Chain A
């Protein structure tokens, strides 16, 4: 198998949504570093205290950078690799157990 660093071309750029913003990133980069590089400092608000929080360790330990990614809550932005067109949202409140568009039993 040829190591990825032997590939001739430079890494591609990808883009994803953060709320209403379009964020550019390198392929292989994490959501957290891409957000920080774009000047996003606050990735969430604590539901209990209302305090803002942002990434701290970037190695998956502190769990401060939890965001919603493609509908899944509490994802570590620093461990998740960006994908083209992924949807990332700030978490500002406790999430409901059921999605709002969930088809309900009659």
Chain B
């Protein structure tokens, strides 16, 4: 066993953890599915930098910090394995299996920092399975990687800072944005005012937020959107919508959806650690202490995978995880532990306070929370809302019952796209404090793996 810690994910949290580990003399092995470090937040940023520089341009300041982080990460004494997909973690996290260039490796781990990040909350709308419908984050990823915006006439739909940011980035890149349909309305801002004082402590965050709200591109906008359905035969042809101000139809070629982000809990659920329902953010997340440690010793979850707080917080939580591990290993004293940790823990508190404001303004409207009719909820197995409603009416009380009756969640995405909506459907009082039933069990493999790769797996125990 030659690693002190295995870090899963090379986004802001994972990279910060690795840098911290290396500075304390811990040997870290970092596994990431992508070909380059950066995570979703700083995806392909090195490539972008090289492309921009070749064109005589530079990165915007908000991205430059990512490039700096990657530079420090690459320069640290860390073993980084890119294109490594972690497909299993044993209960408690002492054994990790990953696929790398078609070969599977199972390795022991003394300590684990899981930094799996987040993904955009899937909100099934009628027609959202049509080609041409993507998440707003996907449009960003495409812009980052290819340098090209989404083609054709674009409608952005949903709520959240990332929706507004994507609208601006696409417009700046010369895309044809023909509509920005936001569920957000005056009532949301009003409801959020009690959270404003605490948020004021994060001045930069607030400034960024104001900029996003005020500097939206000059495109047709709809507020207080309550319902939408996407029309098309075998790709997007338009959006029908209804808002408090009336209804309408927009012809378009692409629809970009965004309803905030939720932690990716596959890894932590597979490891069997305790999870809790976060009412404010309406998602499940692993229970972690002030050191990001889960209910399993030496299994930490850092970054957005442990609760949505953004990239700045992700770096802090990644570092905290390592401080705790290093202290256990006797690499730092009690004294330096508290000295190093105090500013990080304070910072996390401050960012959490600002988060409450954002979560309250931008939340999925009740009218879109529970899909109905022919809307495809489970995209993999093509299960509609009506089919789930029928199973629910016949007394299915949990996701496993639903699965037996409808096959919802049994496809290759492993219920990541449908489980939130399915859960809302069987928890009618979810907005009134009713706790949803526990999420479905996660089992290996959480990434694609062939029978041949499994049979030839290299298992080191």
- List A residues at the B interface (Cβ < 8 Å): 1, 3-5, 7, 9-11, 25-30, 32-34, 36-37, 39, 41-43, 46, 48-49, 51-64, 66, 74-76, 78-79, 81
Using known A-B contacts A53-B129, A61-B416, determine if residue A5 contacts B146 with beta carbons closer than 8 Å: no
User: By the criterion CB–CB under 8 Å, are A58 and B412 in contact?
Assistant: no
Is there a chain A Cβ closer than 8 Å to B151's Cβ?
yes
User: By the criterion CB–CB under 8 Å, are A57 and B134 in contact?
Assistant: yes
Question: Which residues of chain B are within 8 angstroms of A9 by Cβ–Cβ distance?
Answer: 50, 54
Question: Which residues of chain B are within 8 angstroms of A46 by Cβ–Cβ distance?
Answer: 382
Using known A-B contacts A28-B47, A46-B382, determine if residue A56 contacts B133 with beta carbons closer than 8 Å: yes
Contact with A along B120-161 (1 / 0, CB 8 A): 101000000111111101100110011110110000000000
Provide the bound-state CA to CA distance between A11 and B119, in Å: 28
User: By the criterion CB–CB under 8 Å, are A4 and B36 in contact?
Assistant: yes
Is there a chain A Cβ closer than 8 Å to B373's Cβ?
no
Is there a chain A Cβ closer than 8 Å to B53's Cβ?
yes
Using known A-B contacts A36-B142, A62-B416, A74-B448, determine if residue A53 contacts B71 with beta carbons closer than 8 Å: no
7 closest A-B pairs by beta carbon, nearest first, are A54-B131, A10-B54, A5-B46, A37-B146, A58-B138, A37-B148, A33-B145
Using known A-B contacts A42-B131, A81-B35, A81-B83, determine if residue A56 contacts B138 with beta carbons closer than 8 Å: yes
Is there a chain A Cβ closer than 8 Å to B49's Cβ?
yes
User: By the criterion CB–CB under 8 Å, are B416 and A59 in contact?
Assistant: no
Contact with A along B152-179 (1 / 0, CB 8 A): 0000000000000000000000000000
Is there a chain A Cβ closer than 8 Å to B334's Cβ?
no
Cross-chain pairs A/B with CB under 8 angstroms, 30 sampled: A1-B75, A3-B46, A3-B75, A5-B50, A5-B67, A10-B54, A11-B50, A11-B54, A26-B147, A27-B47, A28-B36, A29-B146, A32-B142, A33-B146, A34-B146, A36-B148, A51-B382, A52-B130, A52-B235, A58-B138, A59-B141, A60-B33, A61-B119, A61-B264, A61-B417, A62-B379, A62-B413, A63-B413, A64-B379, A74-B412
B175 CB to nearest A CB, Å = 12
Is there a chain A Cβ closer than 8 Å to B25's Cβ?
no
User: By the criterion CB–CB under 8 Å, are A30 and B70 in contact?
Assistant: no
Is there a chain A Cβ closer than 8 Å to B51's Cβ?
yes
Question: Which residues of chain A are within 8 angstroms of B145 by Cβ–Cβ distance?
Answer: 26, 28-30, 33
User: By the criterion CB–CB under 8 Å, are B141 and A58 in contact?
Assistant: yes
Is there a chain A Cβ closer than 8 Å to B289's Cβ?
no
Is there a chain A Cβ closer than 8 Å to B420's Cβ?
no
B413 CB to nearest A CB, Å = 5
Provide the bound-state CA to CA distance between A26 and B146, in Å: 7
Extra contacts, 6 of them, besides A3-B71, A4-B36 (Cβ < 8 A), are A5-B71, A9-B50, A10-B50, A37-B147, A58-B134, A61-B416
Place the interface of chain B in its size category. 35 or more
B75 CB to nearest A CB, Å = 7
Interface of B is mostly: loop
Is there a chain A Cβ closer than 8 Å to B380's Cβ?
yes
User: By the criterion CB–CB under 8 Å, are A5 and B49 in contact?
Assistant: yes
User: By the criterion CB–CB under 8 Å, are B412 and A26 in contact?
Assistant: no
B209 CB to nearest A CB, Å = 24
Provide the bound-state CA to CA distance between A1 and B76, in Å: 10
Is there a chain A Cβ closer than 8 Å to B40's Cβ?
yes
Is there a chain A Cβ closer than 8 Å to B320's Cβ?
no
Using known A-B contacts A37-B148, A56-B135, A59-B141, determine if residue A79 contacts B33 with beta carbons closer than 8 Å: yes
A11, A51, A66: the one contacting B47 at CB < 8 Å is A11
Using known A-B contacts A3-B74, A62-B417, A81-B83, determine if residue A56 contacts B134 with beta carbons closer than 8 Å: yes
B380 nearest CB neighbor, chain A only: A63
Question: Which residues of chain B are within 8 angstroms of A61 by Cβ–Cβ distance?
Answer: 119, 264, 413, 416-417
Contact with A along B42-78 (1 / 0, CB 8 A): 0011110111011100000000000100110011000
User: By the criterion CB–CB under 8 Å, are B119 and A59 in contact?
Assistant: yes
A88 CB to nearest B CB, Å = 15
Question: Which residues of chain A are within 8 angstroms of B134 by Cβ–Cβ distance?
Answer: 54-58
B275 CB to nearest A CB, Å = 18
B118 nearest CB neighbor, chain A only: A59
Using known A-B contacts A33-B146, A36-B146, determine if residue A59 contacts B50 with beta carbons closer than 8 Å: no
User: By the criterion CB–CB under 8 Å, are B131 and A52 in contact?
Assistant: yes
User: By the criterion CB–CB under 8 Å, are A39 and B151 in contact?
Assistant: yes
User: By the criterion CB–CB under 8 Å, are A28 and B44 in contact?
Assistant: yes
User: By the criterion CB–CB under 8 Å, are B142 and A58 in contact?
Assistant: yes
B50, B70, B119, B379: the one contacting A7 at CB < 8 Å is B50
Is there a chain A Cβ closer than 8 Å to B366's Cβ?
no
Using known A-B contacts A33-B141, A51-B382, determine if residue A5 contacts B70 with beta carbons closer than 8 Å: yes
Question: Which residues of chain A are within 8 angstroms of B146 by Cβ–Cβ distance?
Answer: 25-26, 29, 33-34, 36-37
User: By the criterion CB–CB under 8 Å, are B131 and A41 in contact?
Assistant: yes
